[in-house]
């Protein structure tokens, strides 16, 4: 019985992770349009907090869309999904900022 519960939990966690990745990817561009210019001028810690704060609205909208396709999502699933998707989209946008800064530094050096 414990093994069955463990397998169901693991399968659910994998499903939440995959869905969080999808939501983060779909949220990346709309969020970048809102925060990109400003976040690019901030320190990494400031940018992380700024992106995270602005991500809530975009992520919730994407989760609402996902709820239509995945009716089996419980409130606990949605909570885990929100947290995971926000963390992933924040990392994606911070990565964009780092890449832009690298390109800018390379241009200056050339």
pLDDT in tens, 80-109: 999 999 999 999 999 999 998 888 888 888
Interior CA angle at 47 toward 43 and 53, to 5°?
150
Of 11, 37, 40, nearest in space to 101 by CA? 40
Residue ranges per structural domain of the chain: 2-109
The rounded distance, in Å, linking the Cα atoms of 34 and 31 is: 5
pLDDT value at residue 106: 83
pLDDT value at residue 2: 53
pLDDT value at residue 102: 86
Tokens of 72: 């089996």
The two counts, helices (H) then strands (E), for the chain are: 3, 0
pLDDT in tens, 25-68: 999 999 999 999 999 999 999 999 999 999 999 999 999 888 88
């Amino acid at each position: 019985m414990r093994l069955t519960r463990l397998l169901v939990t693991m399968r659910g966690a994998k499903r939440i992770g995959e869905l969080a990745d999808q939501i983060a990817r779909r949220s990346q561009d709309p969020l970048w349009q809102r925060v990109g210019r400003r976040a690019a001028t901030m320190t990494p810690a400031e940018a992380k907090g700024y992106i995270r704060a602005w991500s809530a609205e975009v992520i919730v909208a994407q989760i609402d869309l996902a709820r239509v396709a995945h009716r089996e999502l419980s409130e606990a699933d949605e909570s885990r999904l929100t947290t995971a998707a926000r963390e992933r989209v924040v990392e994606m946008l911070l990565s964009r900022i780092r890449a832009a800064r690298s390109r800018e530094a390379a241009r200056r050096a050339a």
